[in-house]
Structure 1
Amino acid sequence: MISNRKPKTCRCCKERFTPSKPLQVACGIACAVVLAKSKSDKQRKALAQVERAEIKVRKEKLKGRGEYVKEAQQAFNEFIRWRDRTAGHNCISSGRALDWAGNAVDAGHYRSIGSAPHLRFDERNCHAQSKQDNRYLSGNAVDYRIGLIARIGLEAVEALEADQSPRKYTIDDLKAITAHYRALVRELKRAAA
């Protein structure tokens, strides 16, 4: 019997062959097995990617407001550290040089988050501070105020101390704050590189 099918190129080994069936894409069984395995690997990877996306969506639905606050605070604090690092600032309270190589720098708030939660994302209220001053000296508030006056001025410090206006952050607000400060950190890192 004479085959009137046109020769094809094998998708696996790229050899020319005359197919015995109309939809045949491989020259033989060995190449067909290789193609089937690569196809199943691609399908498995695509399925895993879809599953990861679904898990991410489910985790997002389970998050509470507190987790969004935590993410926004982390993004904000990282921005504060990068802002002061690129500006070459010393510790706001002690005036000593900060060790940027290690993990010895906090984003210290002048008015603490516990006493003034409405100022947690106020850039005037937060500056790079050594962990020693922030954690072990309870923020070193007296010296912090002196350093803050030198950095932003007495009028701005008094306005910060007088600010008692409540702010309620919605989950959408917190997502926007997180995205905003992460973008600023990326810009600062790019500029520093």
Structure 2
Amino acid sequence: MIFRTKKKKEKLLFDITGAKIKKKPDLKAKLDKEFSLFIRLRDVMPNGYFKCISCSQIKPFEQADNGHYINRQHMNTRFDEINCNAQCRHCNRFMEGNIQNYRKGLIAKYGEQRIILLESKQAISRQFTEFEYKQLIKYYKALSAKLRKEKGI
């Protein structure tokens, strides 16, 4: 039998004997964080501003969200670089992604055929292994570091 401690964000679990067992890290959350940073850095202009994929407003990097065209619940497209683009917080959080304008922005950026292919991918089920999560975390962390250096952010 395993009991959780009442401490906030506790990383240890205790079994009946009192032995400490390390909690498995949340690799999906770590990858979300690294991937989100990469997308926002990728889409920022050299002046430190980005253009929202949905409303085309130009805003500072600090106000960028990683907006998903196809909802994050679809694991097959969750970490797809075409599916994810810098989006202003207003469109992403308060306009439910401003999806119709998001699609128009995607077509302008990537072309309609690639977006139709992306939309067809959402129905395919996908699960990531622990190894895949760890490798993707390393990959996007390295890309983000390179982009930060290049763009001076």
Identity %: 34
Q: Report how many aligned residue pairs link the two structures.
A: 131
Instruction: Indicate the residue corresponding to 2:144 in structure 1.
Output: 185
Aligned to 1:75: 34
Q: Deviations over 1:106-132 (max 9, x none)?
A: 000000112x22211100000000000
Partner Cα separation in structure 1 for residue 37 and residue 81 of structure 2: 12
Conserved 8 A contact 1:93-1:143 = yes
Deviation at 1:60, TM superposition (A): 9.9
Range moving further from structure 2, 82-91 or 127-136: 82-91
Counterpart of 2:60 in structure 1 is 99
Q: Which of 43, 51, 57 is 1:90 aligned to?
A: 51
Contact in 1 for aligned 2:50/2:60 (Cα 8 Å): no
Name the counterpart of 2:24.
Answer: 63
User: Secondary structure of 2:148's partner?
Assistant: helix
Q: Which residue pairs with 1:125 in the alignment?
A: 83
What secondary structure does 2:65 align onto? strand
Task: Report 1:40-59 matches (<5 A).
Answer: none
2:119 paired with 1:158: no
Greater relative contact order, per chain length (Cα 8 Å cut-off, separation 6+): 2
Per residue, is there more strand in 1 or in 2?
2
Aligned residue for 1:178, secondary structure, equals helix
Contact 2:75–2:127 (CA under 8 A) maintained in structure 1: no
Structure 1 CA distance for aligned equivalents of residues 22 and 109 of structure 2 = 42
Q: Which runs of 5+ in 1 are unaligned?
A: 1-54
Q: How well do the aligned residues superpose, as a CA RMSD in angstroms?
A: 2.0
Could you tell me which residue of structure 2 aligns to residue 112 of structure 1?
Answer: 71
Q: Structure 1 segments of 4 or more deviating over 3 A?
A: 86-89
Check the 8 A contact 1:86/1:188 in 2, yes or no: no
Which SS does the other structure have where 1:112 is aligned? coil
Return the letter of the residue paired with 1:105. Answer: A
Write the letter of the residue equivalent to 1:97.
I
Q: Which has the larger radius of gyration?
A: 1
**Is the aligned partner of 1:134 residue 2:92?**
yes
Corresponding residue for 1:146? 104
Displacement, 1:168?
A: 1.1
Q: Distance in 2 between matches of 1:191 and 1:105?
A: 18
Tell me if structure 1 keeps the 8 A contact 2:53–2:105: yes
Q: Deviations over 1:39-96 (max 9, x none)?
A: xxxxxxxxxxxxxxxx9xxx994125xx110000110000000000147651000011
Q: Check conservation: 1:84, 1:128, Cα contact below 8 A.
A: yes
> How far has the Cα of 1:190 moved from its partner?
1.3
Unpaired segments ≥5 residues, structure 2: 1-11, 13-19
